[in-house]
Amino acid sequence: MNTIFRKSMLSVAGLAFAGGVFAGPIAAHAANPVDGKPVAVAVQSTAPKPQGDQSHITLNDEQTANVKAIIAATKKAGLPERAAVISIATSLQESKLENLGHLGDKNDHDSLGLFQQRPTSGWGTPEQITDPAYSTTAFLKGLRQVDGWQDMALTDAAQTVQVSAYPDAYAQWEQQATDLVAQHWNS
């Protein structure tokens, strides 16, 4: 779907939603006055729903610390929670949130760290890539360069940055990443 069409559709959906939010309480109050008490209005989240079957792992202390490091780097970069969700889901797929060093024969080329970034691809030195704050900032820099990443399916945004041999694999981690951001964003 091209960017202009997608933005147009989102604008129409936003106007319809806004009309419902503003007209809904007025119509509800007029039809059902409740002794001057405010009427509750349900607001739907605009975050995309996770695609496909979802995976989940139990995190240890190191993995939880890495979640917190990703969130801190996202906040420091001035990006919203959605960027943290995409980053955490990407790291769940790439390393299960473990800061991986060189894995010998099991290594995917020279990939290292939370995001399996490669020094030979310009992500940084091995020392930088294995620093959770640095590697997250590098990932977020790539994400910012993706036009429309905020409205993309998570797996598409992650794949555009990562260029993985398994482009659809990121989607399976969206729910856990969303839950982790909800749990740790304000802590």
* Global model pTM greater than 0.75: no
Q: State pLDDT tens for residues 52-111.
A: 889 999 999 999 999 999 999 999 999 999 999 999 999 999 999 999 876 655 555 678
Residue 83, SS3? Answer: helix
Which residues pair with residue 100 across a beta bridge?
113
- Closest by Cα among 77, 49, 68, 45 to 145: 77
Average pLDDT over residues 148-160: 96
The rounded distance, in Å, linking the Cα atoms of 14 and 73 is: 30
